[in-house]
A and B are shown apart, each in its own frame.
Chain A
């Protein structure tokens, strides 16, 4: 039995100790906003927050989370940083196919939460691990700047 705090709610799940957090979220708790991309922490689609830090849930065993707080795309809009990012995403129409975007939003929200006014280089350094096949990178950067001004 693994105890998890996800989006402010306590869960107990029956899962093997090495089951990745991503599988617990999607398959056991039906929180399907977080996406499976590469499975080896190389694309960023599965990004969630653990105590505010962006981590790759595909490579993080759920049992490794312990008492730390997990936030997923389903609840990021309840945080000020997440709300501003999501609003900017809509205003600039960042999304194309959308598959990577929950991971992009989680990484972007973690960035402006910790660095309220990132410059281009800081955005690139923080977001480089989140891949977008539609190449929405220019709009992602613009939206992060727009959100950080609000």
Chain B
């Protein structure tokens, strides 16, 4: 009996020591070196700039109205708020004093300069797949941006989420340990597209549903998820709820401009991703991304929206008149005075092609989740021909008014009964 007790205690001590080492042993660091193929000088910086855009670093590392890459953007999570960090080359507050090895370790393994574990709001689960050459090129570019002196804001996470060491167990389960390896079963454009989508653009961070541990579900790749209150739709090749019915040209045009005819226009996080990242990609890379997205196995989605491409409510509508589908509701009156001048009454869009409603998931979704957010926040997507803009209406109308106009839009342009309530709009404001 005594012997068993001793053995159990000994085993317990060993496990405790192993666990302590696992969680608290200082993080290792490896020397890094670029390959012979890495360009130098200006070419390296230009390569890094392109990759920095493709990885959309600036989106998260810039606060609203703040200096590019200076960090401070808040990410509100159920267990507290995380703030992005300053990645400008400022010595005191940015990453000016980081070594290349420390930078690569952070991007590949989610480890900070002092060995602390970083939260996966920083998508190193995707960036772990980047080649070391590409990470070093991004580093070279970031060394050339304007240094901004701005101290990082402390996170406000509750216990136990504020215990960074616990992330080591999470990382063991969910972070790839090796960079992307091209698949010999596919050709070069597919492999390029896969690298762009998985390692750089990190599409799955929004479009793949998450499990209870907040990691993306491997078996549900790109099946659609709700992120920050927006529906990030299914982008698998499912014909009903995904992009299976889209042509290659539709996908390419949407990714590079934020709009494709009869497919809707981007807003929210996707609008931001297009504005800051995807529209800057070369046409070859957009084609590669399209090719790869097409190959994702179809998945059903709980976010499915049934799109009515020819709703009866638009039968006799024209650009200047709603036809017989009119009423005296508040929603109708607001649409007439605030929306119709740019959107028109027939769904085709009047001000620019982005103002089109036909085929848009947002106006075909009776819950109006994305539609309400667009009305509240507006949209801004740049192009080489200037910005496509929709102003924010949050300050102009009450919750009940925005609910009413959303329901009119869902009814007239989607042919469905909208179910937006004032309470939904109030919740969406926060």
A-side residues, CB < 8 A to B, are: 17-19, 40-42, 44, 47, 53-56, 59-64, 66, 110-111, 114-115, 118, 121-122, 124-126, 128-131
Contacts and interface: CB of A to CB of B under 8 A. Distances in A.
Nearest to A121: B326
A60 B345 CA distance: 19
Contact of A125 (B345, B385, B387, B396): B345
Given A41-B341, A129-B336, A122 B386 contact: no
A111 B340 CA distance: 13
A114 B318 contact: yes
24 contacts: A17-B384, A44-B341, A47-B341, A53-B319, A55-B342, A55-B350, A55-B351, A59-B342, A60-B351, A61-B385, A62-B386, A63-B385, A63-B386, A64-B383, A64-B386, A118-B321, A124-B336, A125-B320, A125-B326, A125-B336, A125-B340, A128-B337, A129-B338, A131-B337
A129 B341 CA distance: 6
Interface in B360-394: 382-389, 391
A107 to B, nearest CB: 8
Nearest to A40: B391
B147 interface: no
Interface string B327-358: 00000010011101110010000111000000
B415 interface: no
Contacts of B338: 42, 129
B224 interface: no
A64 B385 contact: yes
B320 A122 contact: yes
Contacts of A56: 341-342, 351
Binding site secondary structure of chain B: loop
A130 B337 CA distance: 7
A40 to B, nearest CB: 4
A18 B340 contact: no
B110 interface: no
Nearest to B345: A125
B18 to A, nearest CB: 59
Nearest to B334: A128
Contacts of B267: none
Contacts of B351: 41, 55-56, 59-60
Most central of B386, B388, B396 by chain A CB within 10 Å: B386
B322 interface: yes
A121 to B, nearest CB: 6
Contacts of B319: 53, 114
Nearest to B383: A64
B56 to A, nearest CB: 21
A53 B386 contact: no
Contacts of A42: 338, 391, 396
Contacts of A41: 341-342, 351, 391
Given A54-B350, A63-B386, A64-B385, A128 B391 contact: no
Contact of B336 (A19, A66, A115, A128): A128
A115 to B, nearest CB: 6
A110 B389 CA distance: 23
Interface string B386-407: 1111010000100000000000
Contacts of A128: 333, 336-337, 340
A108 B319 CA distance: 14
Contacts of A63: 384-386
Given A121-B326, A125-B321, A125-B345, 5 more contacts: A40-B391, A61-B386, A61-B387, A64-B386, A114-B318
A115 B345 CA distance: 14
Contacts of A121: 321, 326
B385 A115 contact: no
Query: Considering the complex of A and B, which 6 residue pairs feature the smallest CB-CB distances, nearest first?
Result: A61-B386, A129-B341, A128-B336, A40-B391, A18-B386, A126-B320
A124 B389 CA distance: 25
A115 B386 contact: no
A88 B385 CA distance: 38
B5 to A, nearest CB: 77
B391 A17 contact: no
Nearest to A128: B336
A62 B384 CA distance: 11
Contacts of B386: 17-19, 61-64
Most central of B322, B384, B387 by chain A CB within 10 Å: B387
B336 A60 contact: no
Nearest to A21: B386
Contacts of A115: 318, 320-321
B352 A60 contact: yes
A46 to B, nearest CB: 10
A44 B389 CA distance: 16
B320 A129 contact: no
